[in-house]
Amino acid sequence: MKQHLAPWLLIGFLPASSQALQAMTDAALSTVTGADGVSVGLTSDTGISADTIQWITDDNGLNNGSCSGGIANQHACTQLQNVSLQGVGGALNQQWDLDVGSDGSDNPYLAISGNWTPQKFEIGGLTFNTAAENASTRSLGALALISSGQISLINRGGIFNTGGDFATLDLTTNGDLIYRQGNAGSAELSLANLMMAARFTNGAAAGQAISTGRVGIDSQGLLVSAPFADVDIGFDLAFKANPTDFDQTGRNNLLRFGWQGGLVNPVWRLQPGGFGYGSYLNGADTYQDFDGSQTGQRSQGISLYTEWDFDSDFSLSLGEAGGNGTIARFSNWQRLGAAPGPMFKLPIIFDVFQGGVGPAGLCAGSATSGVVDQTACTAAGGEWYGNDLPGANEAAFGILMRDGRLLAYNTLIEVEDPLAGGTVTPVNWGAAFTFGKLDADIFLYPYGRADGTAVATTDTGIRADINLIAQSPDAWRRANSSSAAVRATSGNGWQTNTHFMMVDTTANTGVGFINGDIIYQARDLFLRVTDGDSRYPNLPGGLWLQTDNRAQYRFRALFGGGYMNDLSYDALTKVSLIDVNLNTSQFLFVLNPLPVDGATGAAPIGFNGLLDLDNSHITVGEISSPQSQFYVKDVSGRVAWRDGSLSMISGQHTADGLPQLAISNDLDFGTSAHFGGAPGAPLIGTIGFGSEDFGRMAIPAGTWHSDVILKIP
C-alpha cells in the first residue's frame, strides 16, 4: 500500500516535483546553488502538466497498471485528470532551500523551507475506473487552488523523524479554491480570500511563541502532532453565475468563515488503509470491523484521523462576507462537563466502493462505540438505517466517519463590524451544539443533474447517497420507557451526548434540546453549482442541494433546561419530549447571494427551500408519560421557503445598540408553493393525542410571511 500512497504525499508536499509529465526546456529547468545548504529554484513560463495521475488500490499484486482483475469488488483506479501547475500573472516560480546544522548539544537538524509566488494547481476531473464501472469519461467536477505562500520545517535526526517533539513547523498560504461542474464558463463556487496558517507553539497561556512538535512518517503513516498549535483558517464562500475560467473577480459573496487560535494536543494522522470488510464479536453482538483493527483486514484506501482540545484563545467566526462584514465570534470554549478524551475527534476513511459490497448501514441504538450489525441493533431496541450501496454495475467514492465527537462549547459571543471599524460587542452567551457519537456513510457518484423537470444526468457533478447519525446512545429509548426507573437513566451519558442549547454563561444554565439524536438520510442528492433551472424559473442561482428521490431529517430530544455542569435526567427542568421527522420525496435547498442593504450595510445571505413531505410527523410527549403525546402524523404535501434572507447587524447600526440576527422569508403551502413551476400538493396531516386521532387537517394553499429578530439584551 505504501507504494500507492507515495504519489499523494509527493503531490501534497512537493507540488513542483517530477510527477508532472510535460517536458520542460533547459531554460525552464531548476537552478541549483550550494553554500551552507542547497537552494533549488523552479521557474517555468509554461508550467507543468499531466494528462492523468492514477492511484491503484487492491490490485492483489498485479502491478501492471490495470484497473480490474485484482481483489473482487475492491480493485479500483482513482484518477486525477488534466492536472497542471502554472504561474498566475507570470511564470511559475518556486524557491526551495535545504540546510543542515545542529543544536548546542550536537544533535543534528535538517531544515527544508520553500516559498512560491501566485500559482494555480488545477485538477480537470476526479473520477475512477473499476471492474464494476468505468467512469473515466465522467467526473465530480473541476477544481483549482490558486495560492502564494511559504512553509518551513526543521526536524532533528531526519526531516521525517517521529522520535520526539523535535520539529518546528510554520506554514502560511493565501489564495482561492474554486470549484465548477462543467467546462470553463460554468457557474463557480469559491472559497475566496482563502487564508491558511499553522505553526507549532507553546500555547495561549505562554503567548503562542514558536515551539516544537512532531512531523514524520512512522509504521502507521504520516503523523503531525504537538503539545500546542496555532491555526488560522478563513475564507469567503462566494458564487459567480457567468465566470471566465476559474474567475477571481466579480464574485457574489455568501458568508464568511473563520477559525482562529490555539489547539491543545492536536493530532493529524494520514495513513494507508480503507474500509475493513470483516466483522468481529463483542459478547453476543456482531460489530463492523470498519478499520481492520480486529481482523487485520482492510482495503487499500486512505484514513485520516484528527483530534484536539481547544486552547483558551480559540474562536470560530461566522458572518457576512460583504457590506460591513459583520461577524460573530464564538470564543472561550470549554469542555462539556467532565467528558473524557479529546474535545474534538473525527476519524475518516476514504475508499472506492463497488458491486453492492460495503458497509451495510448504521445503528441508532445503545452502542457507544463502533457499529453493530442489523440483528444486534434491533435486538437492543435500536433503529437500523441501511445503506443503498453502489449496485452490481456501479461504483462510488466513499467517505466514512466513525465515532466522531464534539464535546465542547463556547461561552462568549462577540459581534463586530471589522470593515466599518466598529467596536466589539461581547455577549455572555454560548451555543452548546455538541455531537456525541457521530457516524456517517457518504457515497459520491460522478454525475450532475441536467436542467428541467425530468431527472436526467450529466457527465460532471456530484450525486450523493448519505446516511448520517449524531446520537446520544440509547437516551431516546430510555426517555420513552413506561418505567420511571428506566427513564431516570436516559441522561446517564450526558457528558458524551448530543445537545442543542443556548447557554447563559453568567448563570451557567442552558435551555434547549438535551440528549438528542440527529438522523439524516438522502438518496440521489445532487450538489449543484448552477445559475438556475427551467423547472423552477423563479429560483435564483447559487448552491443547490436537490433530490427527487428521498431526503429525511429527523431530530428527537428532551426539551428543557438545567445547569451546564449537570445535565443528567433528575437534575433537569424537563418540559417535553420532541420528535420531528421530515421525510420528503422531493427536497430542494438553495443558498444564494443578495445585494447589500444600503441603510444598514448588512450583506444578507439568501435562502430558498422546497419540501414535498411524505409520511412525516411531529410529536410532543409528556415527560412522565411518554405515550401521552400530541401528534401531527401522516403529513404529506408541499411546503416552501421563499425569498429567505438572513442578516447579522452589529450594535452600531441598531437603534438600541444591541446586535441582532434578522431572519425573514415567505412560507408557501400547497399549491402556492411552486417557484414558477408546477404547483405543489395540498398540505395534509392527521392530528391526535395518545392513541386517538382527532381528524385530518388540510391547507390547500396560502402564504405566511415571517420576520424574526433575535437579540440578547
Structure confidence by residue, pLDDT tens digits, 406-448: 999 999 999 987 766 667 888 999 999 999 999 999 999 999 9
- 495 φ, ψ (degrees, to nearest 5): -70, -15
Does residue 226 lie in a domain region?
Answer: yes
State the cell numbers at 452. 428541467
Does residue 639 lie in a domain region?
Answer: no
Element (H, E) at 378: helix 374-379
State the cell numbers at 152. 518551513
Distance CA 346, CA 404 (A): 4
Distance CA 108, CA 102 (A): 4
pLDDT at 24: 38
Does residue 577 lie in a domain region?
Answer: no
Is 402 within 8 Å of 349 (Cβ atoms)?
yes
**CA-wise closest residue to 132 among 352, 444, 457:** 352
Question: What stretches in the chain show pLDDT beneath 50?
Answer: 1-32, 34-35
Of all residues in the chain, the percent with pLDDT exceeding 70 is: 94
Location of C-alpha cell 480503507? 274
391-395's contacts with Cβ under 8 Å and 24+ in sequence apart are 391/355, 391/356, 392/132, 392/355, 392/356, 393/132, 393/133, 394/132, 394/133, 394/354, 394/355, 394/445, 395/76, 395/128, 395/130, 395/132, 395/133, 395/135, 395/352, 395/353, 395/354, 395/355
pLDDT at 20: 35
Does residue 440 lie in a domain region?
Answer: no
Sign of the C-alpha dihedral, residues 173, 174, 177, 178? negative
Domain count, the chain: 1
Amino acid at 623: I
Does residue 569 lie in a domain region?
Answer: no
State the cell numbers at 381. 431496541
Q: What is the pTM of this model?
A: 0.94
Location of C-alpha cell 518556486? 94
- 29 φ, ψ (degrees, to nearest 5): -70, 160
Query: Domain residues for 256?
Result: 73-272
Residues 6+ apart with CB under 8 A from 12: none
State the cell numbers at 81. 485528470
**pLDDT tens digits, one per residue of 339-371:** 999 999 999 999 999 999 999 999 999 999 999
Is 461 within 8 Å of 527 (Cβ atoms)?
yes
pLDDT at 358: 97
pLDDT at 36: 64
Amino acid at 632: V
Does residue 540 lie in a domain region?
Answer: no
State the cell numbers at 130. 473499476
Is 551 within 8 Å of 616 (Cβ atoms)?
no
Q: Can you give the C-alpha Rg of the chain in angstroms?
A: 27
What is the DSSP-derived secondary structure letter of residue 473? T
pLDDT at 422: 67
Does residue 55 lie in a domain region?
Answer: no
Does residue 280 lie in a domain region?
Answer: no
